[in-house]
Amino acid sequence: MIVKKSVLSPGTPFATPYYVVNSLQPGPVFMVVSGIHGNERASIRAAKSLAGRFTRKELLLRKGKLIIVPLVNQKAYRKCIRGVPDLNRTFPGSAKSRASHPLAAALFELARRYHPSWYLDLHEANGLSQKNRKRVGQTLIISPGSKAAPVARQIVKRMNESISVPAYSFNIHLRERSGTSRMAMQRILGARAVTVETCWSLSFPLRVRYQTEIVVHFLRAAGLTH
Ligand SMILES: [Zn+2]
């Protein structure tokens, strides 16, 4: 296994590190991104920590490749804001359109180069989905008819079996929203794409734990890890 750290958008104000974990065995390409919104700290921490664990070989890939971009929007992160404009509305809506932000364009180009069959976009949100179905805190968001649905449902079930506070249970949300990275990766690249949302009202360590566990479950389900 080889882990290579590189820089996305080098030499620009958007420069940010990414990691390619190569098992050196054929298999699926799996991409994980976080920090498209700069103020969603637990997801960023989880993605950074996973990249570190693969770099130190505490975690190993059995097959395929894993690409991790732990903190997409460095500028928004430094200001501790979601980001202006909202980067997750600037991704291409179809193969014929283009990203309307240079950072979204760079991230999409990276994905196009590796062509992931799995794509996880880590986020955080207000409100518990278990208490109010309109809220997306503690959800996995997929499009109606998504190929990722069976695995996403299985992982929600697995997560909920280990969650002792019922209000913190995860739910599946079905949603289409053009301009999001999830929709771009799914529509244009055909990836099984899932948005992961923890809820801000939970403690930081618990949110990091849930984010990490969900990514680990997906990696295993996709066959990249044991
Ligand atoms: Zn977000």
Q: Give residue-wise pLDDT tens across range 94-132.
A: 999 999 999 999 999 999 999 999 999 999 999 999 999
How far is residue 205's CA from residue 103's CA, in Å, rounded to a whole number? Answer: 29
CA of 197 to the centre of ligand 1 (A): 8
CA of 86 to the centre of ligand 1 (A): 9
pTM of the model: 0.98
How far is residue 167's CA from residue 162's CA, in Å, rounded to a whole number? Answer: 13
CA of 215 to the centre of ligand 1 (A): 16
Predicted local confidence at residue 175, as pLDDT: 96
CA of 79 to the centre of ligand 1 (A): 15
Rg of the chain over Cα atoms, rounded to whole angstroms, equals 16
Neighbouring-strand partners of residue 173: 141
Query: Which stretches of the chain drop beneath a pLDDT of 70?
Result: none
